[in-house]
Amino acid sequence: MAKWGMDFVNSIRDRKVPPPPFAAHLKFPECMRLDEIEEGRVVQTWTVPPHFTLHDGIVQGGLLGTIADAGQTFALLTTHEAFETWPTLDFHMRFVRPIKAGEAVRVESQVINKSKNNAVIETTLTSADGKLLARVTGGWARADRQRELLPSAPKPQDSEIPCGS
């Protein structure tokens, strides 16, 4: 089945594989936790850091696209038997309630449909009390181009923005 993908996502959770550079820069290892991993589905808990917000303490909406993209990547990877390149084609984001700094947000990403060359993945963000905060649907396509995994991501500098307090 999807042994490679499941192993890879579990290795990220267990910190045996470093995060990609963008995730290290945004301090995802400190504020995102992979709670559940199964084929085609992942659940994460995201504790919202203050540097993801606007002046009023509400998360900047575009950053939710990054959160959803990361979750959808993990969900899709769990279906892979070997490394493949599947870029995001599009997103539809629906914001339901504001998300504030310090909140613990459940981020569930699930592969809704996957064919040989296309996939539809949905991410639902909910509050600690189960209220819907946002829903993101992503379209993905298999690419025939070759890409290689980096052996390790650059380590964040001490001067970078900290993740919450």
Q: What is the mean pLDDT of the chain?
A: 88
pLDDT of residue 17: 87
How much is the CA Rg of the chain, to the nearest whole Å?
Answer: 16
When comparing pLDDT for 23 and 150, which is higher? Answer: 23
The residue range of the domain holding 66 is 3-141
**Alpha-carbon dihedral angle through residues 76, 11, 134, 86, given to the nearest 10 degrees:** -30
pLDDT of residue 19: 80
The verdict on residue 48 lying in a domain is: yes
The verdict on residue 35 lying in a domain is: yes
The verdict on residue 33 lying in a domain is: yes
The verdict on residue 150 lying in a domain is: no
The verdict on residue 146 lying in a domain is: no
pLDDT beyond 50 at 137? yes
Q: Which of 127-131, 141-145, 150-154 has the lowest mean pLDDT?
A: 150-154
Q: Give the separation between CA 39 and CA 75, rounded to whole angstroms.
A: 7
pLDDT beyond 50 at 156? no
Mean pLDDT within 16-29: 84
Q: How many CB atoms lie within 10 A of CB 131?
A: 10
pLDDT of residue 20: 81
DSSP 18: P
The verdict on residue 91 lying in a domain is: yes
pLDDT beyond 90 at 25? no
The verdict on residue 154 lying in a domain is: no
The verdict on residue 156 lying in a domain is: no
- Give pLDDT tens digits for 71-127: 999 999 999 998 888 999 999 999 999 999 999 999 999 999 999 999 999 999 999
The tally of domains found in the chain comes to 1
pLDDT of residue 154: 42
| CATH code of 37's domain | 3.10.129.10
pTM for this one? Answer: 0.85
Total number of residues shown for the chain: 165
